[in-house]
Amino acid sequence: MATPVLFFEDESKSAGAFAAAAGLEARQVTRHRFPDRELRLTLPFTEGHIPRSLVVYRSLDRPNEKLVELLLIARHARQQGVQTLILVAPYLAYMRQDIAFNPGEIVSQKIIGAFLAELFDGVVTVDPHLHRIDRLEQAIPISHAVALSGAPILAELVAQHRQRPLLMGPDAESAQWVEAAAARQGFDHGVCSKVRHGDREVEVKLPALDVSGREVVLLDDVASSGRTLARAAEQLLAAGARSVDVAVTHALFADDALEVIGQAGVGEIWSTDCIAHASNAISMAPVLAEAVGKILAGEG
C-alpha cells in the first residue's frame, strides 16, 4: 500500500500542495471536539487496512493542542502496525528554550525534541529556531531529523521584486539566514544588533553600513511580536533607506504584530507557507517533498 499523507482541514491547502509535489495521496484526519474540550480523532482507514508507512503533515504553530494530536495519531498508528512514521512540521515549536536562564525553568527543546523522537522515525522542518546547537538531531535524537531552509527561496523572491536590494538581519540570530540568502543572489547584506528588555521591548542598532537610498529587505526566520522588525525598520528609514520590506520563513505575527510593523513604515511583507497567513508568497512544498522522498527511498 502506498504511503499516504495525513492532514487536518485547517492545513488542507499547504498539505495538499506537499502531497502533490511528493506524488502521495493526501487523506484528511477527522477531528471532533467534545464539550469538555477533549478531542476525538479518526484516521481515514478501515480496520486492518492501515498502510505500513505514514507521513503526518502538521505545522506546529499554536502547538499545545497539536502536540496532543500527534501523540494520539502516532500511538494509534503504532498499535495498528504502522512501521514508519514521518512528521512534516514546517514550523517546529518549542525549540527556542534550549537552556535554563533562571532556576526552575524547564528546557522545552530537550523535552519536546525527545517527545517527537519517541513518536516518529523522521521529522522534517524548515528553519528551526536553534540557538546554541548546530544540527536538528541534537534536539530531536533520531537519524532522520531534517532541517531545511526558506532563505534561498525567499532570496529568489526578493530578486524578482527589488533591484539591487540590501538584505538586513534584524538581530545576530538572523545572520545565518541572511548570509545564506545573500550568497545565493549576490546581495549586499548586514546584520543589526539587538538588546531585549522583555517579550515586546527591544532596542536595535544598525551595522556600520550606508543605507541611504537603498531598498532594504529585513530577512529572518520568524516574525512573532513584530517588535524587532519594527524597531529595525524605524532605524533604517531614519538612516535614509528608500524603502523597507520584510521577508520571513514563519509568519506567526501574533496579536497586533502586523499593525506594529506597518506603523514602523514597512512596505511589503513576504512569507513562506510554513504557517498559513495572508502574507504567504512562496510554497515550500517542492523542498519538503524532496526531503521526504529521500527518507522514504532510504527505507529500501
Assess whether pLDDT exceeds 70 at residue 297. Answer: yes
pLDDT for res 1 = 63
In single-letter form, the type of residue at position 35 comes to P
Cα dihedral 14/170/139/224 (nearest 10)? -50
Q: What average pLDDT is seen over the chain?
A: 93
Alpha-carbon distance of 203 to 37, in angstroms, equals 40
Q: What is the mean pLDDT of residues 28-57?
A: 94
Assess whether pLDDT exceeds 50 at residue 300. Answer: no
Fold entry, domain 151-281: Rossmann fold (3.40.50)
Strand 30-33 and strand 39-42: the pairing is: antiparallel
Beta-carbon contacts of 289 under 8 Å, excluding residues fewer than 6 positions away, are 18, 21, 22, 23
CA distance readout (Å), 86 to 26, 82, 98, 216:
14, 11, 24, 38
Strand 188-191 and strand 193-196: the pairing is: unpaired
Q: Report pLDDT digits (tens) over 209-265.
A: 999 999 999 999 999 888 999 999 999 999 999 999 999 999 999 889 999 999 999
Assess whether pLDDT exceeds 90 at residue 199. Answer: no
User: How far from chain centre, in Å, is Cα 105?
Assistant: 24
C-alpha cell at 131: 540557538
Q: What is the mean pLDDT of residues 78-84?
A: 95
Highest mean pLDDT among 111-120, 163-172, 191-200: 111-120
pLDDT for res 197 = 57
Beta-carbon contacts of 37 under 8 Å, excluding residues fewer than 6 positions away, are none
- Centre a 10 Å sphere on the Cβ of residue 209 and count the other Cβ atoms it contains: 17
CATH number of 5-149+284-297: 3.40.50.2020
Alpha-carbon distance of 106 to 100, in angstroms, equals 6
Kindly state the percentage of the chain with pLDDT values over 90: 80
pLDDT for res 14 = 96
Alpha-carbon distance of 27 to 188, in angstroms, equals 44
C-alpha cell at 290: 524532496
CB 217 within 8 A of CB 170: no
Assess whether pLDDT exceeds 70 at residue 78. Answer: yes
Give 268 or 100, the one with higher predicted confidence. 268
Q: Report pLDDT digits (tens) over 163-185.
A: 899 999 988 888 888 999 999 89
User: DSSP 3-state assignment of 147?
Assistant: strand
CB 248 within 8 A of CB 219: yes
Assess whether pLDDT exceeds 90 at residue 30. Answer: yes
Q: How many CA atoms lie within 13 A of 34 on its CB side?
A: 5
Kindly state the percentage of the chain with pLDDT values over 70: 97
State the span(s) of the chain assigned CATH 3.40.50.2020. 5-149+284-297, 151-281
